Amino acid sequence: MRGKWAAGIPPRNFTWIIRDRLALSERPGGFGASHRRVRRQEEIIWLKAHDFNRVISLLTSPHNLQAYDENGLVWANYPLAAGVDRRPNLSECYKDLEESLSEGHKVLVHGDELGDSVMGTAAGFLYWSRRATSGAQATWLVERLVGRQMGSVGREVLVAATALVPPGEP
């Protein structure tokens, strides 16, 4: 491959949460009817060219996981379904994120779109990992970085995440 496409294209709504370490985006290739295999491949090429070595999917379906395997990207899937207790998957996701970041991995977290679930998960991680001192501060940080307000679904995810932090911890 030659020219400007050789390095791929960044995933849509790509946003750094922790500069050069942890990023959010919509699902590589797009979501729903707008998903394109060629675009997914170009976005995976971009991720690899920018040294991402871990992808965390929050989808309730296995979309893209085979493509990550085929392209040598290590992935994990922690589905965040509505109407079920999200805490077990959030707990595993946060432990995975903390371990991956501690090992120096560059991580992309995605849902179908960069919406409330992904934003709430990121805010919850910032609070859970003590990178933010409160849920309100974590929400403000994520909203500012993403450039939009987090809605009720994201706030529900954040509340579930705050329940994972033992009381009285600094």
Reply yes or no on whether the pLDDT at 1 is more than 60. no
3-20 mean pLDDT: 86
Closest alpha carbon to 150 in 134, 164, 170, 136: 136
108: helix, coil or strand?
strand
User: Residue 25 belongs to what H/E stretch?
Assistant: strand 22-26
pLDDT of residue 7: 77
Token duo for residue 162 = 């705050």
- Count of positions (residues) in the chain: 170
pLDDT tens-digit readout, 53-90 = 999 999 999 988 999 999 999 999 999 998 899 999 99
**Domains of the chain, first to last:** 7-162 (3.90.190.10)
11-39 mean pLDDT: 89
pLDDT of residue 4: 58
For residue 5, name the pLDDT band (cuts at 50, 70, 90). low
145-161 mean pLDDT: 96
CB 46 within 8 A of CB 97: no
pLDDT of residue 33: 62
Compute the half-sphere exposure of residue 71: CA atoms within 13 Å on the CB side of its CA: 23
Regarding beta strands 22-26 and 15-18, do their DSSP bridges make them parallel or antiparallel, or are they unpaired? antiparallel
For residue 158, the 8-state DSSP code is H
Residue 13 region by backbone torsions, left for phi larger than 0, else alpha for psi between -120 and 50, else beta? left
pLDDT tens-digit readout, 88-139 = 999 999 999 999 999 999 999 999 999 999 999 999 999 999 999 999 999 9
